């Protein structure tokens, strides 16, 4: 597991009260965290601050899994 993926999962789990050990790269972020698109935008804002990056919205189109999101984060680091 990449450092970004691990950190992403830890932050997401803490924010939404999920068990980090039950989350994996293949999991759908929305389904596993039980969040809607508004909450996903809030999460992205937190992640951008935490990772000190900015990810354009167009790069997040079609991103659904923790692994895809970690790859988008890594692309910007």
Provide the annotated active-site residues.
Answer: 36
3-class SS letters over 9-59: HHHHHHHHCCCHHHCCCCCEHHHHHCCCHHHHHHHHHHHHHHHCCCCCHHH
């Amino acid at each position: 597991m990449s450092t970004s993926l691990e950190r992403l999962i830890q932050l997401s789990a803490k924010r939404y009260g999920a068990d980090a050990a039950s989350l994996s790269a293949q999991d759908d972020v929305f389904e596993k965290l039980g969040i809607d698109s508004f909450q996903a935008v809030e999460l992205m804002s937190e992640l951008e601050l935490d990772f000190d990056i900015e990810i354009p919205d167009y790069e997040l189109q079609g991103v659904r899994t923790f692994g895809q999101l970690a790859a988008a984060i890594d692309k910007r680091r």
